[in-house]
Structure 1
Amino acid sequence: MVRRSESVPFAFVAEAERFRSDVTPPPRRRASVSEVAGRWLLGVTIVAALVGSLVIGMPALTLDHSAPAQQSQASEVSQGE
């Protein structure tokens, strides 16, 4: 790796933090009513999809306590024969 013999001046970094431009940026364009409504509708759709998937998926996440009892009864019947 090649090393430089001269030191790197860091003064320009400090100056860059203090520099203020006299040029003001253009004002931000306000969103139209249709853009605001579209963003709101998109947000509501995403939230509704998440809630819907949670509601539909909840039965799959619950523990079914009746399933082991049915299996044990079936095994008792087959053992009794």
Structure 2
Amino acid sequence: MMIRIKLDVMMAERKMSLNRLSELVDLTPANLSILKNEKGKAIRFTTLDALCKALNCQPGDLLEYIQNTEEPQT
């Protein structure tokens, strides 16, 4: 199972820089970069809410579920 964060896609569609988004959501560029590069392990609902407001999108626009196709080992 994997949840993909599509922050880079939404930022590109909105033509928004990391620094500008950082100002709007009150997070450091370094923390946003972790999300943008899909290195984060979790996201707070308050952060998701702020991102959706700043990017004028829905949570489903930022998050994508990718099912693991590998068979479990026995």
Report the TM-score range of the alignment, normalised by the length of the smaller protein.
Answer: under 0.3
Greater share of helix: 1
Greater share of strand: 2
After TM superposition, the score normalised by the length of structure 1 is 0.20
Bigger radius of gyration, 1 or 2? 1
After TM superposition, the score normalised by the length of structure 2 is 0.22
